[in-house]
Structure 1
């Protein structure tokens, strides 16, 4: 089966990072589906390592991969916590926008009766389904895939899959908005809001600036790393038009948490790469933000 290209490639990098982290004694995430996806991708690539993932190495020799891998893993518990907070409040619909190879339907302790909607492109979900075939989700959890491009009219496809906009939902937009421009970001959050009953939650992230072409990505002595950095940067767009606190509030969400990837990494005892250290002159601040839909939208 063909390995997905474009943004699907970055989803594979996220899975690689989670699969690596699963092997650590101090793992932040144990993700069997990530391991299954990487095993399938490795077989498809014809070797023990995935050349197409460039810096994704297991020996610690790539500073770029150490930085990116820390980012992919350190943000994971933030999203997990907000899913679990939502279902703990009785929300039984979880929507993973640009779900990629996410394994939350299988690895999180979701209550029986929870439905997890995975929204992504056909090639990504087809690859994932083949990798995790025969691997069960949590008992009583209903996993439903919605094959649609989020730049298109995706809300109808979600409702057709059984989503009920009259009941609250938990929305995750993990690793998504940096690939959209301002208008696309606003349109997507507006659509999320139109489908969100009171008590719904949303969690997402926001890059303070577009890092395309910056030294942290492309100033690398290794050609494979440099090309990978250029590839990652080429996918970036402007993202949301305002910082997350202001942006979420403007769309009718009560902000419940705003933090950043560097702070999250430090909180979990991980070294903060300079790429994601706001104190470094060339560091990126990547905000992680979550909001809740109030009883009456202002």
Structure 2
């Protein structure tokens, strides 16, 4: 499968700011007595700039309770990965950013985690974690490449084996991509997946782009050079059309994505133009 990616490279120059922001959110969650996960490296990665970005992008993100979806999303992906991993498995994080799961989760023996993202971001993470004396709990292979370039070739160069089952995850990634690129990336993961492979991602609904309350937040993301570009109101259909068999689609507030933190039940699908987020799990 091929895609015309001309003209897309410029749009990924500033995503490090959103990575710092989400790292700061993980650090905040880790300080809570009722935390949904513990990321002991998040504060080191976020730094003071990440803390400042919490309030810059959205004032409510700076409050102690923050945005519950960020904590729920991290916990949901943690559970997916730990439930899915097997000894000797390969795990690929697309747009891995400042993710620290290779360092904080208990992986099975001989598991290998591939982290795919921009070179500068991965270099920053490696430097900060090294200064903090952090040690990975599995073999971690960083793959410095933009998704607009030959990321499949870069994965292969780092030892990725498409003949082995793979656990793919794309957390906080797809809505930053143009729709054509998002489809291409997800479709390529399906093409590269041996039987037994799994895929997980989060997606946003199109109502987010029309919800008045979120317009200032979206404007700040655009000003930072990392706008949200793609949403879908059929997240399961999107993933399935890319070659996967969808097992689950959940919204925050559903039993499988609540953890006692979401402040309300899932809104009925008949209510349009609401800011919806989705968590999708699929298999080949």
TM-score bracket, normalised by the shorter chain, equals 0.7 to 0.9
Structure 2 partner of 1:9? 17
Give the alignment of 1:271-282 within 5 angstroms. Answer: 271-272=262-263, 278=267
Kindly state the Cα deviation for residue 231 of structure 1 after the two structures are TM-superposed: 4.2
Structure 2 partner of 1:222? none
1:235-279 deviation per Cα after TM superposition (whole angstroms, max 9, x unaligned): 111246x72222222233221211013437972111438xx9646
- Determine if the alignment matches structure 1 residue 137 to structure 2 residue 129: no
Structure 1 partner of 2:278? 287
**What 5-or-longer segments of structure 2 have no aligned partner?**
1-11
Q: Secondary structure at the match of 2:76?
A: helix
Structure 2 partner of 1:236? 228
* Whole-angstrom distance in 1 between the partners of 2:226 and 2:120: 20
- Determine if the alignment matches structure 1 residue 84 to structure 2 residue 105: no
Give the alignment of 1:192-231 within 5 angstroms. Answer: 192-209=189-206, 211-212=208-209, 214-218=211-215, 228=220, 231=223
Q: Secondary structure at the match of 2:35?
A: coil
The structure-2 alpha-carbon separation of the partners of 1:227 and 1:238, relative to structure 1 and needing over 3 Å to count, comes to closer
Structure 1 partner of 2:9? none
* Whole-angstrom distance in 2 between the partners of 1:232 and 1:281: 28
Give the aligned CA root-mean-square deviation in angstroms.
2.9
Alignment size in residue pairs? 268
Q: Secondary structure at the match of 1:28?
A: coil
Is the Cα–Cα contact under 8 Å of residues 207 and 274 in structure 2 kept in the other structure?
A: no
Aligned pair partner of 1:37 in 24, 41, 45? 45
Q: Secondary structure at the match of 2:83?
A: helix
1:100-149 deviation per Cα after TM superposition (whole angstroms, max 9, x unaligned): 111111111111200000000011111111111021111xx100100000
TM-score by length of structure 1 reads 0.79
Structure 2 partner of 1:154? 151
Structure 2 partner of 1:296? none
Structure 1 partner of 2:116? 119
1:53-103 deviation per Cα after TM superposition (whole angstroms, max 9, x unaligned): 43479xxxx325458632211111211122112214x56101000001111
Q: Secondary structure at the match of 1:146?
A: strand
Q: Secondary structure at the match of 1:191?
A: helix
Q: Secondary structure at the match of 2:41?
A: helix
Structure 2 partner of 1:54? 55
Structure 2 partner of 1:182? 179
The structure-2 alpha-carbon separation of the partners of 1:22 and 1:173, relative to structure 1 and needing over 3 Å to count, comes to same
Aligned pair partner of 2:252 in 258, 261, 267? 261
TM-score by length of structure 2 reads 0.83
* More divergent stretch after superposition (12-21 vs 225-234): 225-234
* Whole-angstrom distance in 1 between the partners of 2:237 and 2:262: 30
Q: Secondary structure at the match of 2:208?
A: coil
Is the Cα–Cα contact under 8 Å of residues 218 and 227 in structure 1 kept in the other structure?
A: yes
* Whole-angstrom distance in 2 between the partners of 1:76 and 1:113: 23
Structure 2 partner of 1:74? 72
